[in-house]
C-alpha cells in the first residue's frame, strides 16, 4: 500500500507543480521534450531507412554467395577494376560442376538478366526485367507466386517458351483479363504465362522489382540473347545451409572447386569474386550506426538542458514544501519515503516531457516522404520512456536527498 500512496502523492504534487507555475514548468520540460524528440526521431528515421534499404536489396538473396567478376568491396586499398574486368565470366558448365560437387550448399543456381520489351497484341511493356533461370532457382531465391505455378523440371530442361510475370507487366499486357494461359512475345518469340508473382510495391531505390520481373527457362533465354563472354554474363549463386554461420565452409569449398575447374595453379590468385549478399546489408548497418551516434549527441545536449530544468523545479519544490516535509517527518515519515516521493515526482515530470516528444515523433510518421515508410517502433517507444525516466531520476536525486535529510524541527521552523 505504501507504494501506491507514494505514487498517488507524487502524482498529486507533480500536478500541483505544473499548475502553480505553468509557464516555468513547460519551459523547463521543453528541453526533455526536444531531447527525446531528437533522439527518437533520428532512431525512427534510421530504422525506417535501414529497413527500406534492406527490403530493396532482397533481390540479392539471403545467406547467398554469388560468383562474379567484380567483388562488392576490395577493402581500403584502391579498387583495381582493370584487373577484374579481364576475369572470365561464369559459365553453365561451372554451374553444373558446382551443383554436382558443392556439398556445403543447400542449392546452386545460374541466371542471366537483361532489360527488354514485351508485347501482347497492341499492348507493350518496356524495360521489363527478364531473367533466364534454372529449376533450382526457387531454392536459392524467394519466388512468391500470387497465381499459377513455377516451372517444371521438364519445362526447364526442354527450354519451353513459358513464363512467370510480375504484376505490372500482367496489368500492362492483359488489362481486365486473367493473364494465366495468355500469350505474349519477346523479340517475336511467343511465350505462355504460367504464373504471376506476388505484388512487391515500390522500393526506396531503383532496384529490380518483382512487379517488373519476367522469368523464363534458362534455355529459352539463350534462344533470345547470346549468353557468355562478350554477351550477357550469367551469375552463379549458391545458398548456404543453416548450420554454416557466416557461410565460411561453403565459401572455402566454392573457392577450391572453382579454382580446380578453371585450372588455377596454387601460386595464382583467384580470377573470380565470391560475394556475400550480407556484405552490403552489413555496410548499410554500419553507416546507420554512425548516424545513430550523431542522434545521441544532438539529443544528449537537449536532454542535459532539460535535466537541469527539472532539477530546478525540484529544488524550488523542496523549498516550497519545507514545512510539509517537517510535518511528515515529525509524524513518523521515514527518510526513504520522502526521498522516493520527490524522485517519483521528478520522474513524472520528466515522463510528461518525454511523452510529448514521443507524440511529436508519432505525428511525423504521417508525413509522406516518397516511398519511405516511417514507423515508430515499440522498441523506440520503450527507449524514449526509459530515457525520460532516467533523466527524471538523475535530475531529482540531489533535491530528493536534501529533502530526505532535513531535520523536522528545523524544517518546521524554517517554514
304-350, pLDDT tens digit by residue? 877 888 888 888 878 877 887 788 777 777 787 778 878 888 888 88
At residue 353, the pLDDT reads 87
**Cell 499492348 sits on residue:** 123
In 3D space, the residue among 296, 302, 285, 281 whose CA is nearest the CA of residue 43 turns out to be 296
Distance CA 408, CA 122 (A): 94
Model confidence at 146: pLDDT above 80? yes
Measure the CA–CA gap between 191 and 135, rounded to whole angstroms.
Answer: 18
Question: What is the pLDDT, as a whole number, of residue 22?
Answer: 72
CB count in 10 Å sphere of residue 71: 15
Better pLDDT: 341 or 222:
222
C-alpha cell at 344: 517519483
Q: Could you tell me the three cell numbers for 266?
A: 596454387
Top mean-pLDDT range of 7-21, 22-36, 139-153, 289-303: 139-153
Q: Are strands 235-240 and 105-120 parallel, antiparallel or unpaired?
A: antiparallel
Q: Provide the 8-state DSSP code for 182.
A: -
The residue assigned the cell 520522502 is 338
| Residue 300 vs residue 140, higher pLDDT | 140
203 pLDDT more than 60 = no
Q: Which residues contact 174 (CB under 8 A, 6 or more apart)?
A: 120, 123, 182, 193
Residue 193, number of CB atoms within 10 A of its CB: 24
Beta strands in 205-344 (DSSP E): 213-217, 235-240, 273-276
Nearest-angstrom CA–CA distance, 318 and 312: 10
Could you count the other beta carbons within 10 Å of the beta carbon of residue 351? 21
pLDDT over threshold 80, residue 49 = no
CA distance linking residue 277 with residue 257, whole number of Å: 20
Question: For residues 366 and 18, which has the higher predicted lDDT (pLDDT)?
Answer: 366
Q: Where are the beta strands (DSSP E) in 92-135?
A: 105-120, 123-133
Write out pLDDT tens, residues 1-23. Answer: 666 666 676 667 667 766 666 77
Of 132-136, 310-314, 370-374, the range with the highest mean pLDDT is 132-136
Q: Which three cell numbers stand for residue 102?
A: 558443392
The answer to whether 203 and 105 have CB atoms below 8 angstroms apart is no
Question: For the ranges 86-90, 132-136, 235-239, 374-378, which has the lowest average pLDDT?
Answer: 374-378
Mean per-residue pLDDT, 264-269? 90
- Yes or no: say if 66 and 250 are a contact pair by the CB < 8 Å rule: no
Asked if residue 284 lies in contact with residue 292, where contact means CB atoms within 8 angstroms, the answer is no
Q: Say if residue 179's pLDDT is above 60.
A: yes
DSSP symbol at 142? -
Strand partners of residue 123: 120
121's grid cell: 497484341
What's the rounded Cα separation, in Å, for the pair 48 and 291? 13
Alpha-carbon dihedral 94, 98, 99, 103, rounded to 10 degrees: 180
Q: The cell 501506491 sits on which residue?
A: 4
Cβ atoms of 282 and 7 within 8 Å: the answer is no
Mean pLDDT in residue range 97-119: 93
Residue bearing cell 522489382: 209
Computed over every residue of the chain, the mean pLDDT equals 83
Amino acid at each position: 500500500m505504501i507504494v501506491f500512496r507514494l505514487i498517488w502523492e507524487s502524482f498529486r504534487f507533480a500536478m500541483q507543480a505544473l499548475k502553480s507555475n505553468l509557464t516555468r514548468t513547460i519551459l523547463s520540460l521543453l528541453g526533455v521534450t526536444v531531447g527525446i524528440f531528437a533522439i527518437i526521431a533520428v532512431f525512427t528515421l534510421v530504422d525506417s531507412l535501414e529497413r527500406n534499404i534492406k527490403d530493396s536489396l532482397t533481390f540479392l538473396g539471403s545467406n547467398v554467395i554469388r560468383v562474379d567478376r567484380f567483388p562488392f568491396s576490395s577493402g581500403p586499398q584502391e579498387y583495381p577494376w582493370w584487373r577484374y574486368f579481364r576475369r572470365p565470366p561464369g559459365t553453365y558448365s561451372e554451374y553444373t560442376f558446382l551443383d554436382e560437387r558443392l556439398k556445403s550448399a543447400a542449392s546452386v543456381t545460374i541466371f542471366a538478366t537483361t532489360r527488354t520489351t514485351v508485347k501482347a497484341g497492341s499492348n507493350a511493356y518496356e524495360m521489363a526485367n527478364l531473367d533466364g533461370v534454372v529449376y533450382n532457382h526457387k531454392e536459392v531465391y524467394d519466388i512468391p507466386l500470387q497465381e499459377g505455378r513455377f516451372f517444371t523440371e521438364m519445362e526447364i530442361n526442354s527450354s519451353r517458351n513459358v513464363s512467370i510475370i510480375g504484376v505490372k507487366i500482367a496489368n500492362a499486357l492483359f488489362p481486365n483479363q486473367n493473364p494465366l494461359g495468355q500469350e505474349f512475345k519477346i523479340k517475336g518469340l511467343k511465350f505462355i504465362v504460367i504464373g504471376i508473382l506476388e505484388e512487391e510495391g515500390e522500393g526506396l531505390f531503383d532496384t529490380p522489382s518483382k512487379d517488373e520481373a519476367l522469368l523464363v527457362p534458362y534455355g529459352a533465354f539463350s534462344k533470345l540473347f547470346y549468353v557468355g563472354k562478350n554477351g550477357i554474363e550469367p551469375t552463379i549463386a549458391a545458398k548456404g545451409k543453416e548450420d554454416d554461420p557466416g557461410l565460411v565452409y561453403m565459401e572455402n569449398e566454392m573457392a577450391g572447386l572453382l579454382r580446380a575447374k578453371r585450372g588455377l595453379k596454387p601460386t595464382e590468385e583467384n580470377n573470380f569474386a565470391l560475394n556475400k549478399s550480407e556484405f552490403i546489408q552489413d555496410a548499410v548497418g554500419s553507416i546507420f550506426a554512425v548516424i545513430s551516434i550523431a542522434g545521441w549527441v544532438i539529443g544528449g545536449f537537449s536532454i542535459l538542458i532539460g535535466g537541469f530544468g527539472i532539477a530546478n523545479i525540484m529544488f524550488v519544490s523542496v523549498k516550497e514544501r519545507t514545512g510539509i516535509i517537517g510535518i511528515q517527518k515529525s509524524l513518523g515519515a521515514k527518510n526513504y519515503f520522502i526521498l522516493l516521493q520527490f524522485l517519483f515526482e521528478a520522474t513524472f515530470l520528466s515522463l510528461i516531457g518525454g511523452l510529448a516528444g514521443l507524440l511529436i515523433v508519432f505525428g511525423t510518421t504521417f508525413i509522406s516522404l516518397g516511398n519511405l515508410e516511417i514507423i515508430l517502433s515499440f522498441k523506440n517507444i520503450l527507449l524514449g520512456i526509459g530515457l525520460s525516466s532516467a533523466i527524471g531520476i538523475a535530475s531529482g536525486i540531489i533535491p530528493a536527498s536534501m529533502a530526505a535529510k532535513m531535520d523536522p524541527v528545523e524544517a518546521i521552523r524554517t517554514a
